[in-house]
Structure 1
């Protein structure tokens, strides 16, 4: 089987994924797409930048597993699965997980990560996740920071929306993208750094997008998703089967798990342009901040008490505890260096900021947002 490759590029960070299974590189191409300029490349390890080698190879997987278990190792969790990890004197890290039958050889000093597995689908998902971690590490070490925010781009300006789960971050971004013709830059987090001109540049964090059934219905997107799924198109593998069943049954109301958490449709990034006609943005300058809260029957209005941006709005190593830096790909705090976060925070404070209350009337909310952030 001949090797294929795809090159992923965000700002000055680049990584090339090479695999003996084309479905692995196709998955990364789909996952990063326009957000991180994913393009076909020559499958050679001499590619500039970091290289991720990802092969379906049961024998090589078993060999790494034997190496790890035969020497001193530690047990941890990665992606919520048990992982056994050992480290050589030269800094090479070997690890494997029997749960998803994946093995890893990380050589951060050489700019190379090898992933070996027995199943192409599991390998593809892990490869995209770790290629993203490589880019994250490169960007954070270059002065970028990571904010917990959604973002939509209008006239090259990124409207950043902040808040905890359920506050309305995705709602604001989707209203702007659906009703106002904005580009979607991110659903849950963004990279941000001040450039030489003093502007704050924003980059996307590619990920599956979680949208509730009720929000999809309010945006007139529910029927599109349901028809596509019924036609056999697949949602992201993190999709809970109960959500898929609810779509099949035509349920439009929000779906809640026993723990009180809303269960949402998990969309691939490329499904926004393909299904909804919503283009993705590869970057913009920060132009405004929105702090929403959702009150179902409320008329859209400015909140009585303004919310301000704080350090808590940045991602950190603690907030990324599902993906500890066991492969030494990040090498700094998971949300960026403290001094870089402080610098970004100071400049964000100078941008227009709006603390708002939005109801479930999407059209009224869109008109209100149009007014307060001066959308042309």
Structure 2
């Protein structure tokens, strides 16, 4: 039996995931369906772009052999090596042998085939690429991606965007404000587009990485450890060392050799079911927040802000984990019009610290002045 799930944004962009395995279509629904929407559909009625994904060792081996027989280009995709070839029609065939995955994208039919040897690996790749297919449609429709967290007021959709450099506190601001009753629209990236007098915003569905320190400070560590101990699973990109530390009750941050923290990784639905946050599907920008974390400072609102710049926009040229190997994305440049519109919104800078209660109070005060 073949199963299908149609993923649709609040603006109408869509992709259909089709598989003989319900686990694969359910995975895409789980990963994308709370920030966008997911609905079961008839695979025979699928229109527009589609992803056909299955566990099929023979097909995976056949596509891998086809790539090897050509002159493949080597890239890194989702932190794993990938070999790919592209023919004169634009069809891309690719393989990630270490992951047991192979791909074939036909730009004429707009069908992406994913086959592999492991169901979880196929399901993870399918959800990731379903998002990329929809991302291409959104960018073609004039949407752009901002490096931002975002929270939305449930009564009217007024949305507060939080901009800042890496480590400024975007994600922390989003989680702290979402705990006060606002709805979380994005924890790291957000789609934005000017529509008349409005800047509309849509979420970028993704797993959420929350460091041990923040997890503990928000009193989420023990509930997460309890669920893991009961046999529930977190996102498969989570390192085993992180899982082991959570189970052991060890709150000491773990670091890679490059100095990057290894963090617990949550499925989007776990932000709601485990952590009690409510997710939003759309909103309109009403204000911009510029936080700065100073560990020992007294949290407070401060005058001025650094403004909105090209560095706040996320483009294919700045993508590090998921380069556009299949040619799904249109050429894009940051929109000066959108940047100017964002700069005209009410904005507020503030200092936060490791004092969660004081930082939350400062954030609430800032939010109330902006939205």
TM-score by length of 2: 0.94
Contact 1:153/1:185 (<8 A) preserved: yes
Partner in structure 1 of residue 175 of structure 2: 174
Cα 1:309/1:326, change in 2 over 3 Å: same
Q: Deviations along 1:17-63, whole A, 9 cap, x unmatched?
A: 0011111111101101221101111122x412211111111111111
Partner residue in 1 for 2:121:
122
Q: Distance in 1 between matches of 2:258 and 2:115?
A: 36
Q: Deviations over 1:282-303 (max 9, x none)?
A: 0100111111111122111134
Q: Does the 8 A contact of 2:150 with 2:187 survive in 1? A: yes
Shift of the alpha carbon at 1:120?
A: 0.7
Given the two structures, how large is their TM-score scaled by the length of structure 1?
A: 0.93
1:210 positional shift: 0.7
- Gaps spanning 5+ residues in structure 1: where? none
Separation (CA, whole Å) in 1 of partners of 2:2 and 2:253: 44
Other structure's SS at 2:318 match: coil
Matched, 1:206 2:200: no
SS at match of 2:151: strand
Q: How much does 1:131 deviate?
A: 0.6
Specify whether residues 49 and 225 from structure 1 end up closer, same or farther in structure 2 by C-alpha distance, changes over 3 A only. same
Secondary structure at 1:276's aligned position in 2?
coil
Q: Is the 8 A contact 1:325 1:331 kept in 2?
A: no
Q: How many equivalent residue pairs?
A: 367
- Structure 2 unaligned residues grouped into runs of 5+: none
Paired residues for 1:1-376 under 5 Å: 2-10=1-9, 11-44=11-44, 46-154=45-153, 155=155, 156-178=157-179, 180-196=180-196, 198-303=197-302, 306-333=305-332, 337-338=333-334, 341-374=335-368
Contact 1:137 1:332 in 2 (8 A): no
Cα separation, 2, equivalents of 1:94 and 1:372: 50
- After TM superposition, give the deviation of residue 253 of structure 1 in Å: 4.7
How far residue 304 of structure 1 moved from its aligned partner, in angstroms, is 5.8
CA distance in 2, matches of 1:70, 1:260: 39
CA 1:318–1:90: 2 relative to 1, 3 Å: closer
Contact 2:55 2:115 in 1 (8 A): yes
Structure 1 Cα separation of the partners of residues 89 and 251 of structure 2: 55
Q: Displacement, 1:75?
A: 2.3
Deviation, structure 1 residue 252 = 3.1
CA distance in 2: counterparts of 1:372 and 1:77, whole angstroms: 41
Deviations 1:309-341 (A, max 9, x none): 1000111223213222221111323xxx44xx2
Q: Which moved more, 1:249-258 or 1:315-324?
A: 249-258
Runs of 4+ in structure 1 deviating by more than 6 angstroms, as ranges, are: none
Partner of 1:8: helix, strand, or coil?
A: strand
Tell me which moved more, 71-80 or 342-351: 71-80
How far did residue 243 of structure 1 move? 1.8
